Structure 1
């Protein structure tokens, strides 16, 4: 299939997990792709995989801190310079962010969570839409949201609040950009087997993978499949929507991490910086802050 033939895409957080799977799918569908990520080692691995698949000329890597406006503006400019246009911006970069009881959440960790998960989406929408309007051919802005932003019990309070903000942003910006034929669409994953979720130990999180009614584990390719469809002209009448890709998890009601005081997010506090290459901070409650 080559339903993205001739298209140019940006994928933030594209060097691992769902982002990397989507990069490979976009390439297979005929797109040229700029991979943006903070983790340069993962970026090099992704480029090597693409070259091994015969897509060496169709891919580029840009180190990008998606919470910094200069980096995001530079990313869009790099895509235009390298491939001459921008048709698809998949704003996928994310981290687990701050976790722990509300009284144990440091404001710096809260701000970091919103910077990576929400401000980055605002910045991506801002600069991608400017380029797409200037080109006058429309475009697609995809965003990784989360079912955690749709209901309580799907993640930490900071992560869930940031994703709820993103879902609202998708709806509002979709209405604004529709006259320019720029679609804005979200994907809300459930539990997907990525390094962000299992941190290299999927067996430790087997309980979360088994919560959903659908019997198969969610894999990054499940998200890539939906992203490829939503980015294509087959989805040309879909905008302002956030599509759940969760194996029916939200349909049955969730408490992924336990309930009440048994909620695993409340047994420690800190911040999960995902696959950025930066260290995770964990404070077991009862210990003094370092």
Structure 2
């Protein structure tokens, strides 16, 4: 099974969002936050059991049946096409796409990095976002009223990389260019585009920042780093999503206050 058993072909109340990487972490948190604000939400990812759990939480947050999921690999064009087609059939239109799915390969010295890890990182972090944005344009250009919003999950690594992260950093830097290009091209179609750069939101991926020796720093040392509750990221996604399309935040950084970042040395 790759999606919900049955798709009802009529619009539901509220606006509709698609969230990639919606089976856990920031994707699930943001999807639930949107549902709490009255949005219909389609989540997509590779793990069907976890997607079902996300849908249960979305419906509980909205107090109604407001969720849909599509299980699959969004680096594949046919999967992306299905995500958008099923969402439009179920909810009537597409108002927001949060391109959130991403991976980070092992942080090892460049000489030890694998081509397969590089290619996988480019596919998930960059190509999947481009595929979803392209499909979003196809729907948002034609629907009435015209337009919608795309949010790209970038990274503080786009400005200040961590050691031994060239595949991840390269893709996140590329997504800054993608965001700007999409924003420019979207003007005539009433499509607004935002890049959100998240620093140290608490998750399984950031648990190592508080354990053992911590994580590598630019000066070669290891240290623990503060993290923040990822619910604040969900709230920021809702804040951006709820703005009229005549207003846009082109880029926003949300981070744990005292984390080492691009705002200064150390």
Structure 1 and Structure 2 fold alike (TM over 0.5) = yes
Q: What SS is found at the alignment partner of 1:18?
A: helix
CA distance in structure 2 between the partners assigned to 1:230 and 1:50 by the alignment: 19
1:246 aligns with 2:255: yes
Count of residues in correspondence between the two structures: 244
Aligned to 1:237: 247
Choose the corresponding residue for 2:78, options 57, 70, 77: 70
Give, in angstroms, the shift of residue 245 of structure 1.
0.6
Cα distance, 1:243–1:154 mapped onto 2, change above 3 Å: farther
Deviations 1:107-162 (A, max 9, x none): 11100001000001110110011110010421000111000111232771111111
Cα distance, 1:154–1:79 mapped onto 2, change above 3 Å: farther
Choose the corresponding residue for 1:47, options 55, 78, 82: 55
Cα distance, 1:202–1:45 mapped onto 2, change above 3 Å: farther
Give, in angstroms, the shift of residue 176 of structure 1.
0.7
Q: What SS is found at the alignment partner of 1:67?
A: coil
Aligned to 2:97: 89
Give, in angstroms, the shift of residue 253 of structure 1.
3.1
Cα distance, 1:211–1:132 mapped onto 2, change above 3 Å: same
Instruction: Confirm or deny: 8 A CA contact 1:10 1:33 kept in the other structure.
Output: yes
Q: What SS is found at the alignment partner of 2:200?
A: coil
Q: Which has the higher helix share?
A: 1
CA distance in structure 2 between the partners assigned to 1:148 and 1:129 by the alignment: 27
CA distance in structure 2 between the partners assigned to 1:146 and 1:84 by the alignment: 32
Aligned to 1:260: none
1:204 aligns with 2:214: no
Give, in angstroms, the shift of residue 49 of structure 1.
2.2
Give, in angstroms, the shift of residue 195 of structure 1.
2.1
Give, in angstroms, the shift of residue 55 of structure 1.
3.8
Instruction: Confirm or deny: 8 A CA contact 1:11 1:34 kept in the other structure.
Output: yes
Aligned to 1:269: none
Cα distance, 1:32–1:54 mapped onto 2, change above 3 Å: closer
1:58 aligns with 2:69: no
Structure 1 unpaired stretches of 5+: 256-290
Choose the corresponding residue for 2:133, options 125, 129, 132: 125
TM-score (norm 1): 0.77
Aligned to 1:283: none
Deviations 1:83-130 (A, max 9, x none): 111010011011112531111111111000010000011101100111
Structure 2 unpaired stretches of 5+: 1-12, 216-222
Instruction: Confirm or deny: 8 A CA contact 1:145 1:242 kept in the other structure.
Output: no
Instruction: Confirm or deny: 8 A CA contact 2:23 2:45 kept in the other structure.
Output: yes
Give, in angstroms, the shift of residue 46 of structure 1.
1.3
Give, in angstroms, the shift of residue 251 of structure 1.
5.0
Cα distance, 1:6–1:56 mapped onto 2, change above 3 Å: closer
Residues 258-277 of structure 1 mapped to structure 2, 5 A cutoff: none
CA distance in structure 2 between the partners assigned to 1:42 and 1:97 by the alignment: 22
TM-score (norm 2): 0.84
CA distance in structure 1 between the partners assigned to 2:82 and 2:194 by the alignment: 23
